[in-house]
Amino acid sequence: MPITEILEKNCREYGDDICLVEINPEIQETRRVTWKEYELTEPAHVAHYRREITWNVFNEKANRFANMLISRGVKKGDKVAILLMNCLEWLPIYFGILKTGAIAVPLNFRYAPDEIEYCLNLAEVDILVFGPEFIGRIEEIADNISKNRLLFYVGANCPTFAEDYAELTANSSSQSPQIKLTDEDDAAIYFSSGTTGFPKAILHNHESLMHACRVEQAHHGQTKDDVFLCIPPLYHTGAKMHWFGSFLMGGKAVLLKGTKPKHVLEAVSSEGCTIVWLLVPWAQDILDAIDRGDVDISKYHLDQWRLMHIGAQPVPPSLIARWKKQFPNHQYDTNYGLSESIGPGAVHLGVENIHKVGAIGKAGFGWKTKIIDEKGDIVPQGEVGELCVAGPGVMTCYYNDKAATDEVLKGEWLLTGDMAMEDEDGFIFLVDRKKDVVISGGENIYPVQIENFIRAYDKVKDVAVIGVPDERLGEATMAIIEIKEGMECTKEEIDEFCMKLPRYKRPRHVVFEDIPRNPTGKIEKPKLRVQFGGDSVVAKQNRG
């Protein structure tokens, strides 16, 4: 069943219910604004503290955008890119694209102009929809990208090189365009994180999107009454696919524009959020803010908050131990996935398996897993190999890149590039990214293991371990450590703490710096390698 039918169902059954709320905590305005009031009184993207829409309005906006696109010649298989910050317009635009049979192409809001142009060309995008935050970047490349595609602008004061979204959709029909869709139809192109160069274009069909809905709901048991707090950027599969569980059940979601601990807790409290998906740095920040006394959780209404789940990167067991101490009644789940496997849920821990914190869990709903060696043979239990996944959510291909597709798709199996091991109970533990493994004196060293150990030191906020050139060993490990606010730490303290590690795993070098992370929370190790003289990305690729 195409995912657009879920929106139609929600409109029929829950039309007048609030489905999406946008909160901008930086704005000191607290009045509520409905979509209709907003449209009658303010231009799009005038800052408000809170906006909301119903399922009826969501579907109406999606239909208007779909019919406008069709009037401009958009047809099945065309591509429409979205370059917007999280906002109420984002999801209706996304579903409007899908309703035409076209392919939605979300873009990372951190892309530089050359990356935007590269992705538009790689995905053969026909139309770009962008917001006010990107006027400068689009203007730089407008002459190049507007030759063979249309540019639609969502916001006030439309630039001269684009057309106004509000004007274009105002007189379009609010009825469904009735384009026949199937599970096999292409639906969306997502881009890889781009941590090893320019990103790849990942093509998914409607079956993939629907599988994400079912997986998320099966794992976390969303009901109509649950309220999902969405903080990560919607262009990424992680945010949207976790929301899909609520979408499937017709539940409300809150789009929070900000990650400060105070703002997260205020949103949970004021909107009655029951499910919150966090990245590791945000969970860490909340706990640190509580420890410092910057926030007092007794002042918030948090009893309804039932589930904290986390993903996008290996999760330190020490972090979850701290979280459960602070929030003992929370269910907890780790989710593993990648954009090539429609985001979260290919592997998950399960809320009943808190005793296995540190593992990413077992194969998720409708998924299969295996761990293989370099020859493709399954490794014995307890040994390290490459994690592979198979299921209805595996990508169709890397768009326009057969060589890269053939490298990771082996029949039904997707090679993830993540090194993992399975314990005696069948739980999978991530060891590291294949290309991040440090080879020192012939030993394979997995940085995540060292990072998890160092994070347990009470002064450490964050840590990244990379390989740097060493004349004798080939590579040596360097720990880049970010210290908690208001604390001081020395190399000698870290060296002493690491004496509990086997000698070959102890960092040879220790430096104190902030840890760069991308919008999905992943450590940007290529930046650190450049900064600290580690081996090049090309060398890592050739080696891995």
434-483 tens-digit pLDDT = 677 787 765 678 788 888 889 889 899 989 998 888 766 667 899 999 99
Contact between 216 and 242 under an 8 Å Cβ cutoff? The reply is: yes
Span 275-294, pLDDT tens digits: 998 887 788 889 999 999 99
pLDDT at residue 85, as a whole number = 93
Token pair belonging to 225: 């009454």
497-542: per-residue pLDDT in tens? 999 887 878 899 999 999 887 666 677 887 888 888 754 333 333 3
Task: List % helix, strand, coil for the chain (3-state, nearest 5).
Answer: 35, 25, 40
Contact 541, 434 (CB under 8 A): no
Q: Which residues contact 503 (CB under 8 A, 6 or more apart)?
A: none
Cβ atoms of 173 and 64 closer than 8 Å: yes
According to DSSP, the β-strands at 438-440 and 362-363 are unpaired
> Does residue 405 surpass a pLDDT of 90?
yes
Global confidence as pTM: 0.81
Is the model more confident about 30 or about 522? Answer: 522
- For the segment 59-71, the average pLDDT, to the nearest whole number, is 97
Whether the predicted pLDDT of 2 surpasses 80: yes
**Whether the predicted pLDDT of 197 surpasses 70:** no
Angle at 185 between CA 183 and CA 191, to 5 degrees: 110
| Distances 287 to 293, 295, 324, 369, 484 between C-alpha atoms, Å | 10, 10, 11, 33, 11
List C-alpha distances in Å: 363 to 40, 270, 395.
49, 35, 17
| Upper half-sphere CA count for residue 416 (Cβ side, 13 Å) | 28
Q: For residues 94 and 69, is the Cβ–Cβ distance under 8 A? A: no
Measured CA to CA, the distance from residue 430 to residue 418 in angstroms comes to 7
Write down the pLDDT at residue 330.
93
CATH among 3.40.50.800, 3.30.300.30, 3.10.20.440, 3.40.50.10490 for 437-543 = 3.30.300.30
DSSP-assigned beta bridge partners for residue 203: 189, 397
Neighbours of 372 (CB within 10 A): 16
From CA 141, how far away is CA 143, in angstroms rounded? Answer: 6
- Evaluate whether 4-220 and 437-543 have a shared fold: no
Residue entry with tokens 């991530």: 430
- Give the domain ranges of the chain: 4-220, 437-543
What contacts 231, CB < 8 A, 6 or more positions away? 239, 256, 258, 259, 264, 276, 277, 278, 279, 282
Cβ atoms of 43 and 67 within 8 Å: the answer is no
> Given this model, what pLDDT does residue 313 score?
63
Q: Examine the pLDDT at 372 and tell me if it is beyond 60.
A: yes
| Predicted local distance difference test score (pLDDT) of residue 201 | 95
Which of 3.30.70.120, 3.40.50.12780, 3.40.50.300, 3.40.50.450 is the CATH number of 4-220? Answer: 3.40.50.12780
Q: Among 323, 304, 208, 201, which Cα is nearest to 261's?
A: 323
